[in-house]
Structures are given as structure tokens and as C-alpha cells.
Amino acid sequence: MRNIALLVSYDGTGYYGFQSQPGGNTVQDKIEEAIRMLSGEQVKLTGSGRTDAGVHALGQVANFLTASSIPAERWAIALNSRLPDDIVVHAAVEVATDFHARRCAVGKTYRYSINSFRFPDVFARHRVFHHPAPLDFAAMREGLKYLLGEHDFTSFTSPLSTKPHHVRTLYEASLQVDTASGDSEASGRGVARITVTGNGFLYNMVRIITGTILQVGEGKRKPEDIADILAAKSRAISGPTAVPYGLTMCSVAYGPEWGLNWKPPYN
């Protein structure tokens, strides 16, 4: 059996998430069906992580075992001809048989996009959350700093989490803002992108971080409140879970032993 790794982008708007579910209509289901159409095999695709319904991906990594002799470099084009337009395979390579897209990952990067202009962008409505009131970007940026490093993120995790512990390390927690011509960040108007990189993420973790940091931007909390929320280890005192469609899985990192140095195919 050969082990094939894929680099996948998808618009999650029309799907119930990445991982296969009894109701079907997931990204995994679509890719597995495309593989079946191509090779005649019923494979089990393993993703680097789950994404919820409506969440997007630029650089999702997945792998599957196959007995097919199709050269690795031909898989991407062949699968794309059998996939819907909102799922694209950018690369396919043969990897060691013990490679596992989720277990072998050493880091992931997610981005959450927020539009605080008065009116929404009709062309980005499925990818950017519209917040029509101005935001204090400086305060949001300051609040994110408290999340850096190793912490118990129980306060930023869904009670439905099944992980044995909630300790994770964030290497990056930053905010960048694109403003309109002639405006400054002080106006509170712009498209803000929260980027977080860590060694692992918990169920709804990025969306809860975003919902809480939004409250800082609204003036409902102070930046230093983030430290207290972390210390409390209680989901009850953090902010709401931000809507899913503003979230994108950007990239997944692996150690050099796997030979996967993939970068997101888009910005």
C-alpha cells in the first residue's frame, strides 16, 4: 500500500465541515468519492484537523492509503476533474506509510477575518464576519498578547471537548488591519485579520478566542481581562463563539522528516 498526502483548499460554505458525518455532505465525503471514481477504491481519508460547518481551508492536509499505481504527481489534476468547484487539490505526494496527517502535525495556523466597515462586502460575505460598529484594534491586539505561550485553554474550549487536557502553546496571536484609503486604525473601521499559530487547537478554540477579543474591541472588556479568563479555566466567563464562516485554516506544519514543506497556495 502507498500513502498519498494531499494539500487541499476549500470553501466550506456548503458543507457540514471537513470530517465525514452520518448525514454526509462533508469535504471528506467529496474527496473520498472522487478517489473512488478515479481508482475504484473505497479509502478512508485522514485530515490534519476537523473544521466545522461553514469553516474554510487554504492549506488543509490529508492522507490516504491506496493500492493504485497512479503516479503521485497525477493525483491532483485527476481528482480536481472529479471534485466540485469549491474543493481544490493543489498538490499530491507519496509519503512514508506511517505518516498520519493529524498525529504527525507539529503546528497549525488559523485566521479569522472581521469587517468593521459600516456596510458588508458582498463578495466576501461567506468568508468575513461583518461587525458594523467600529472596533478598538489596539486593545484587541493587546489582549491577544496574553494568549501567547503555554496555557490551559479550558476557558476557550467548548464544553463538548473530548481532549484529555486543554494545555496548548500559541506561538503567534496577532492582528492585522486593512483600512480604507485615507483612514487610520484609530477610526475603528477596517478589515481585521486575527492570526493564531500553535502546536494544537481545541474544539471551537479559535472562534471563542475571537468572540472574546471582539468584546475587547467593543469596550466590553479590558485587554488584561484575557489573563484572568485564562486563569479561571471556565468557559462560562469567556466570550461567545464567533460565527464559523469568518474562520479559515491556513496551514499545517510538519517536521522535516516527512518532506512536506507546503505553504498555503493563496494569501
Pick out the residues of the known binding site for substrate: 110
Beta-carbon count within 10 A of 220 CB: 11
123 backbone dihedrals φ, ψ, rounded to 5°: -85, -15
Q: Known catalytic residues?
A: 52
190 neighbors 179 (Cβ within 8 angstroms): yes
110 neighbors 196 (Cβ within 8 angstroms): yes
- What's the burial of 95, exposed, middle or buried (CB within 10 Å: 0-12/13-18/19+)? buried
Render 166-184 in DSSP notation, one character per residue.
Answer: -EEEEEEEEEEEE--TT--
Alpha helices in 59-149 (DSSP H): 72-80, 137-145
Provide the annotated binding site: 110
CA 165 to chain centre: 21
If we measure between CA atoms, which residue out of 131, 141, 107 comes closest to residue 261?
Answer: 107
